[in-house]
């Protein structure tokens, strides 16, 4: 009885946290209300990105991305002036100037809902500004910049990637990096 209760509590916690698989088996299987033809499904997938434009997922590349970014955040002073190349998604907020963006991927610890951005604030000195949500490969030098946290008023040093080259690239199969 204790074992059944433990399983019930664990399953409930996973479902409530949103970290459980969407394919958890239940007593009553889900029945599709509408049937979609394989042709319609293929067309819907092409709207996101045609398979010919997506590279295969490269776990080694994802781990190298994570290692590069974390190394800079862990010891910024040791990396000032270093040239870095990253492939990620362009994020732009209303607080950024016209030549600023974030090149990022998302680090997943538990589930996608809990992912956090992992990348660098980037400043483009020359060239065309990429659009939000485009995949880019950015090469630039790391500098340190003092910024004030609006919520706390404290000043911190953050890494900034001064972009020397920004190239639009084919999307990777996933913007997520899984923290194993």
Position 56 confidence tier, pLDDT thresholds 50, 70, 90: low
Which fold would CATH assign to domain 52-178?
Answer: OB fold (Dihydrolipoamide Acetyltransferase, E2P) (2.40.50)
Flag whether the pTM goes above 0.85: no
Rounded CA gap, 154 and 144, in Å?
16
SS3 at position 119: strand
Residue 124: pLDDT over 70: yes
Query: Domain-by-domain residue ranges, the chain?
Result: 52-178
pLDDT at 55: 55
Share of the chain above pLDDT 70, in %: 68
Residue 137's DSSP bridge partners are 87, 167
8 Å CB contact between 113 and 17: no
């Amino acid at each position: 009885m204790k074992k059944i209760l433990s399983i019930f509590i664990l399953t409930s916690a996973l479902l409530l946290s949103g970290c459980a698989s969407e394919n958890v088996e239940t007593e009553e299987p889900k029945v599709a209300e509408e049937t979609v033809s394989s042709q319609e499904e293929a067309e819907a997938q092409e709207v996101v990105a045609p398979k010919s434009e997506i590279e295969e997922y490269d776990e080694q590349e994802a781990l190298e991305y994570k290692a590069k970014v974390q190394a800079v955040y862990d010891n910024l002073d040791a990396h000032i002036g270093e040239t870095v190349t990253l492939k990620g998604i362009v994020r732009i907020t209303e607080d950024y100037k016209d030549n600023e963006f974030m090149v990022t991927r998302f680090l997943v610890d538990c589930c996608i809902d809990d992912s956090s951005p992992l990348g660098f604030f980037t400043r483009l000195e020359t060239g065309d500004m990429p659009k939000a949500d485009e995949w880019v490969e950015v090469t630039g030098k790391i500098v340190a910049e003092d910024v004030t946290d609006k919520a706390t008023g404290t000043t911190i040093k953050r890494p900034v990637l001064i972009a020397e080259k920004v190239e639009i690239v084919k999307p990777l199969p996933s913007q997520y990096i899984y923290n194993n």
